[in-house]
Structure 1
Amino acid sequence: MTGPVDNPFPALPSGIRLLGLTGAPGAGKSTAAAALAAAHGLAVVPMDGFHYADVELARRGLRDRKGAPETFDAEGYAALLRRVRGCEPAVVAPAFDRDLEQPLAGAIAVPAAGVVVTEGNYLLLDEPRWRAVRAELDEVWHLRLDDDLRRERLVARHVRHGKTPEEARAWVARVDEPNARLVEAAASRADRVVDLTGTTNAS
């Protein structure tokens, strides 16, 4: 197949409540989730809303590793997904503001019925606190993107949010790429692998 493909995704599985999208940093998870949401009228709950705030990362000595698995409240994420899965009414999820680089509590109203998409790096990570997240998901799709393009877009994202090009490249090499290797190592646990290379949906 040649040329960009606007819709590389398989059909939504029937009878599910929670669909997870995972992939390495910069693979296009947020863009893919937004595209699915727009096409099917779905709510999106991002894992990034469960980032620890910078003040807590500093307290834990993790500020320079922001984005690594241990810098997220995985237990809180699993607990919220459990409420969503149970179709509880009035569930409100946190979002993540990329301009502030901080989580925003109580920002996303989640409907009490229908499919909900959640996206994040570590949905398939084989560690106890992340296995609890996977246990709440009906199906998980692992997204892939050409590594050079993925890294290029990561650098551009960091620059947009305040880093110099040199700082951005150093952060990608020191933080994002080790995280990417963790994510790719868990890809065999996905229900489907979706390659976004050559599509217009990747970002």
Structure 2
Amino acid sequence: MTTGPQDIPAALVERILTPGGASRRIVAVMGPPGSGKSTFAETLRDALADRGAQVAILPMDGFHHDDAILDARGLRARKGAPETFDVAGLVHLVGRLRRNDEGEIAVPVFDRRLEISRNAARLIDPGIDTLIVEGNYLLLDRPGWSALAPLFDLTIALDVPEAELRRRLIERWRGFAIPEAEIPARVDGNDMRNGLTVLGHSRAADITLQETGAAGYLIKEEDRQ
């Protein structure tokens, strides 16, 4: 789905921009693999920037363990599962970014071309007043991960049907020139397993959004204010 700032519900933009006591607001965007978190986070950033906010995005993917660590632990086939991330490092960094008392802060970025995380690959300026953190497990209710929720001012979940998630994940792997016969095992043996972990073991978000095709995103009825 191709989206623009106009596809973000106005009520969501207003809620995020409601003045608070802190110098920086932190918004979490979570959902299973294939739910469109990165695209949505970028679209939300543009919608907020159109209203004058200074916005940056922090993807959780920068905290992937290196493949050498995953190989040593027998976890390469499960790359992307909760246990393949440096959750303590993520919690620590989000806490620093929330306090915003150090000047600019370096953050890691996951290089998909090389399949590695690059440390200190980007800088978050102290003038950023809105930080969007996006990732699968931001509301995961498990040890380590559960320390993230109190750091967010607003949490957003993306609701996509499982069949659509699977379709998107298959298309994603095709883009990596993976042999067609190997794709179902990758999707069902890892990606969808991780997705079911997100769906079955995450805390409820403050707002849940559903895609509505050409109309963009719709706030689920129970989350409207």
User: TM-score when scaled to structure 2?
Assistant: 0.81
Report if aligned partners of 1:65, 1:175 keep a CA contact under 8 Å in 2: yes
The answer as to whether partners of 1:99 and 1:161 remain within 8 angstroms in 2 is no
- Would you say how many aligned residue pairs link Structure 1 and Structure 2? 199
Match of 1:185 in 2: 200
What is the aligned counterpart of 2:185 among 166, 170, 193? 170
Equivalent residue in structure 2 for 1:107, among 121, 140, 145: 121
Relative contact order, CA 8 A, sep 6+: which one is greater? 1
Structure 2 residues not aligned, in runs of 5+: 50-54, 218-225
Letter in 2 for 1:195: Q
Provide Cα deviations, 1:58-85, integer angstroms capped at 9, x if missing partner. 1121111001000000000000000100
Is 1:27 matched up with 2:31?
no
Give me the whole-angstrom Cα distance separating, in 2, the residues matched to 1:200 and 1:70: 37
* Greater Cα offset, 184-193 or 43-52: 184-193
CA–CA separation in structure 2 for the residues paired with 1:73 and 1:187:
18
Q: Secondary structure at the match of 1:61?
A: coil
CA contact (8 A) 2:110 2:118 kept: yes
State the alpha-carbon separation in 1 of the partners of residues 75 and 212 from structure 2.
Answer: 32
Q: Does 1:134 align with 2:149?
A: yes
| 2:79 is the alignment partner of 1:66 | yes
Query: Match of 1:33, as an amino acid?
Result: A
Shift of 1:199: 4.8
Could you tell which deviates more after superposition, 77-86 or 7-16?
A: 7-16
Match of 2:70 in 1: 57
Cα offset, 1:109, TM superposition: 1.4
One-letter amino acid of the counterpart of residue 181, structure 1: L
Cα gap change, 1:101 to 1:56, in 2 (>3 Å): same
The residue type paired with residue 178 of structure 1 is R
3-state SS in 2 of match to 1:128:
coil
Matched-pair contact (CA < 8 Å) for 2:141–2:202? no
Q: What is the distance in 2 between the residues matched to 1:128 and 1:188?
A: 13
Of the structure 1 ranges 160-169 and 126-135, higher mean CA displacement relative to structure 2 is found in 160-169
Q: Distance in 1 between matches of 2:182 and 2:74?
A: 20
Identity %: 37
Residues of 1 paired with 2:39 and 2:85: CA distance? 21
**Which amino acid in the other structure matches residue 135 of structure 1?**
P
The two structures have a TM-score, normalised by structure 1, of 0.89
**Deviation, structure 1 residue 40:** 2.3
Consecutive unaligned residues of structure 1, counting only runs of 5 or more, are: none
Residue 78 (structure 1) aligns with: 91
